[in-house]
Structure 1
Amino acid sequence: MINRPLTKLAIAGSAVALSLTAGAGVAAADPDFGPMINTTCTYDQALTALRTENPVAAEYLEQSPPNMQFLRTFTGSSPAERERLIQQVKGNPGADQAFPVIQQMFASCNKY
């Protein structure tokens, strides 16, 4: 099931996100998943963006084969399927902290 891998990534991402945003305010609005859902980035582009821009998060991701598979599945899916995947995991523990890291990866992956 895909929920478990993203939960692990979310927990890892939580530590990364918390270290990056310590002292920052928390937004009450739902995040904009549009760029993630509509990305044209490939798996390799997304992973390169994460490795380049957030090596700590990349290290956590790469230590988990299920998380790597989730990223591969997500980037290989249609926008409708990506939206379903996000809805499926966004309530998982740590997802609120992990999504900003993942969103940044998809916001910049077209550069790679």
Structure 2
Amino acid sequence: MIKSSRKYIAAALGGLALSVPLTALSAGVASAQPDFSAVVNTTCSYEQVMAALNAQRPDLAQEFNASPFAQGALRNFLASGPVERQQTVAQLQGSPMAQQYFGPINLIAGSCNRY
């Protein structure tokens, strides 16, 4: 259940940044962690994140939209402050399942304010 929950939290956070090529990250390379400052400090609303997700990564948006848990996790993430967001990101960085979403997470975080 914890691995599944982390997957959905990662998918929810993926709503924040979706579209940097997933190959930009290597699941086996822990030393090259991406910079999540855009994710931690985003001012985007849930609606902006979802618009960016649907526009940039409809494949992941479909997966995300099928999960009420992921939707709730994203709402909670966006409602939390930077300290709590950083803690969530740090926890997800240790999850191999979450690593596949890191690229998309960063791109959405950098573009959602345009939606």
Q: Does TM, scored on the shorter chain, surpass 0.5?
A: yes
* Aligned partner letter, 1:64: S
Change (3 A) 1:21 1:41: closer
- How far, CA to CA, are the matches of 1:3 and 1:79 in structure 2? 24
Q: Which whole-Å deviations, capped at 9, do the CAs of 1:39-90 have from their partners, x for residues lacking one? A: 1111111111101111001111111111111111111111111001111222
* Aligned partner letter, 1:111: R
- Give 1:35 deviation, angstroms: 0.5
* Aligned partner letter, 1:44: E
Q: Over aligned residues, Cα RMSD in angstroms? A: 2.8
- Identical counterparts, % of pairs: 37
2:89 to 83, 86, 89: 86
Change (3 A) 1:30 1:55: same
- Higher mean Cα deviation, 82-91 or 26-35? 26-35
What is the correspondence of 1:3-22 to structure 2 with a 5 Å cutoff?
4-8=4-8, 10=10, 20-21=21-22
- How far, CA to CA, are the matches of 1:9 and 1:77 in structure 2? 14
1:76 to 79, 83, 86: 79
Q: Which runs of 5+ in 2 are unaligned?
A: none
Q: Would the aligned equivalents of 1:7 and 1:93 in 2 still touch at CA under 8 Å?
A: no
TM-score by length of 1: 0.78
Q: Would the aligned equivalents of 1:38 and 1:79 in 2 still touch at CA under 8 Å?
A: yes
* Aligned partner letter, 1:6: R
